[in-house]
Structure formats: C-alpha cells, structure tokens
C-alpha cells in the first residue's frame, strides 16, 4: 500500500493566497506527473474560466434557497479575502491546470459536483446553517478593516488548519460533514480511480483543510483493497 499512496503528491493550498499559486505551479513542474488533479468540479471550473456566469445560473435550482445562500455567503467571504491579497479565488487551481497542460499531463476535476453538495446542505439543521451565515458579515468586516496577510499568516502557522477543522467539526457538525467529510471521501474515490488508470505520479492540489481527510480516506481504500 505504501508504494501506492506515494504515487500521490498532495499539495496543500490556501484559497486566495499568492504563495499557494506559486506552490501549485512549482509542484507540477518538479514532479512532472501523469495527472494533475484539482479540487474543482466541472461547473466551478467553467465559472472560473467564464466569470460572467453566476451562481444563479448553476443547476439544479431545486436544491433550496438556504443552500444557495450559504454557498454565496462563503463565496463573498473568499472574494473579499482575494481582493485584499491580490489572488483570485481558484487561481491556484487554474495555475496547476495550466502547468499540467504545458507538460502534457492529464487534468482531473476531482471535487464532488457543487449541486450535490448543495443538496447535502439542505439536510443540515437550519439553525446550524443560519449560525454560520450569521458570522460571515463580521468575518468580512474583519477582513476589510484589517490586514488580510495577518489572516493568511495565521492559517500558515503549524497546526492552525488542523485546529480550525477541529473547531468547525465541533461547532457545525452537519455542515462539516456536508462540506468537508463527504467531499473528502468523494475526492479519495476519484483519486483511487485515477490510480487504477495511470501508473505514474499524480499531483493532487487540494485546499489545506481537505488534505488530512482525503489522505486518510485514500489510505483506507487502499488498505481495504489489499485485505480483500
């Protein structure tokens, strides 16, 4: 199993961070992988390359207003941070894709479709959703009034992401399951499918909050197959 998992080079990025854009590009150049896998689904990728498309045009609309509202609140927060740092949301993913194409690597969009995640959000207790949406305006104001580099510096401190994930799971267990754990499992299964199709290296560019979960799920998949 160890040889198999070593074929996947995980690259942890922080969205809207210029250093993460550089890290993603350098990882692809250095590893020269057969596949570059990025934390995007097809709809979000299309939106990145065609910014005029808005969330209202994403489908299906039947997932419920509350799920769409939450996704838009989070997008607004990321956009505010990106305006402060000078790195657009998703720029690190596009950079990895661009470098992958330069070396002839296959590109894999391995995140769960956004509409499926939105459907999962509709099954989360409403009070939990509204509690999270309630903190977004304050967080946005803090970003706009403060220095975004302080926020990013904090996130880059050792153990910061792990602590943040632990707190999020504690405060918002339903949302953590819908937004993080279920997607970790989806990405791990996608990576396993790629590993079966290609013999070489895979560079997986994922948000730092997903790295630990995706790696654990992938190891579990490999162990289960080895034991069967």
DSSP letter at 63?
G
Work out whether the CA dihedral 188, 174, 62, 57 comes out positive or negative: negative
Please compute Rg for the chain using Cα positions. Answer: 18
The Cα-based distances of 186 to 94, 115, 167, 217, 226 in angstroms read 21, 14, 22, 9, 20
Residues 34 and 197 sit within 8 Å (Cβ to Cβ): no
What pLDDT does 152 receive? Answer: 63
What pLDDT does 151 receive? Answer: 62
Q: Which tokens in the block code for residue 140?
A: 């946005």
pLDDT tens, per residue, the chain with 228 residues? 557 899 999 999 988 788 999 999 999 999 999 999 999 999 989 988 887 654 444 444 444 577 777 877 677 656 655 554 455 678 999 999 999 999 999 999 999 998 899 899 989 998 998 888 887 766 666 656 655 556 666 767 778 889 989 998 999 999 999 999 999 999 999 999 999 999 999 999 999 999 999 999 999 999 999 888
Residue 95, judged by CB atoms within 10 A of its CB (0-12, 13-18, 19+), counts as buried
Residues 38 and 106 sit within 8 Å (Cβ to Cβ): no
What pLDDT does 131 receive? Answer: 86
What pLDDT does 159 receive? Answer: 81
Whole-prediction pTM value?
0.86
92 vs 202: CA distance, rounded Å: 17
What pLDDT does 77 receive? Answer: 58
DSSP letter at 10?
E
Helix axes 208-227, 182-197, angle to 10 degrees: 60
């Amino acid at each position: 199993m160890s040889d198999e998992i070593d074929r996947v080079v995980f690259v942890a990025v922080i969205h809207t961070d210029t250093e993460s854009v550089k890290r993603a590009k350098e990882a692809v150049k250095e590893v020269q992988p057969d596949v570059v896998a990025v934390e995007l689904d097809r709809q979000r990728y299309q939106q990145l390359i065609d910014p005029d498309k808005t969330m209202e045009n994403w489908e299906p609309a039947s997932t419920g207003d509350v799920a769409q509202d939450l996704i838009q609140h989070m997008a607004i927060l990321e956009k505010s941070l990106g305006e402060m740092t000078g790195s657009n949301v998703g720029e690190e993913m596009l950079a990895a894709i661009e470098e992958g194409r330069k070396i002839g690597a296959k590109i894999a969009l391995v995140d769960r479709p956004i509409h499926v995640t939105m459907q999962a959000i509709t099954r989360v207790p409403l009070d939990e959703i509204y509690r999270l949406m309630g903190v977004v305006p304050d967080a946005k104001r803090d970003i706009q009034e403060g220095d975004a580099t302080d926020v990013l510096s904090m996130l880059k401190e050792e153990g910061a992401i792990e602590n943040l994930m632990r707190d999020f799971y504690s405060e918002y267990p339903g949302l953590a399951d819908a937004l993080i754990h279920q997607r970790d499992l989806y990405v791990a299964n996608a990576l396993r499918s790629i590993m079966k199709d290609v013999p070489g290296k895979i560079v997986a560019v994922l948000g730092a909050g997903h790295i630990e979960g995706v790696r654990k799920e992938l190891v579990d998949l490999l162990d289960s197959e080895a034991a069967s």
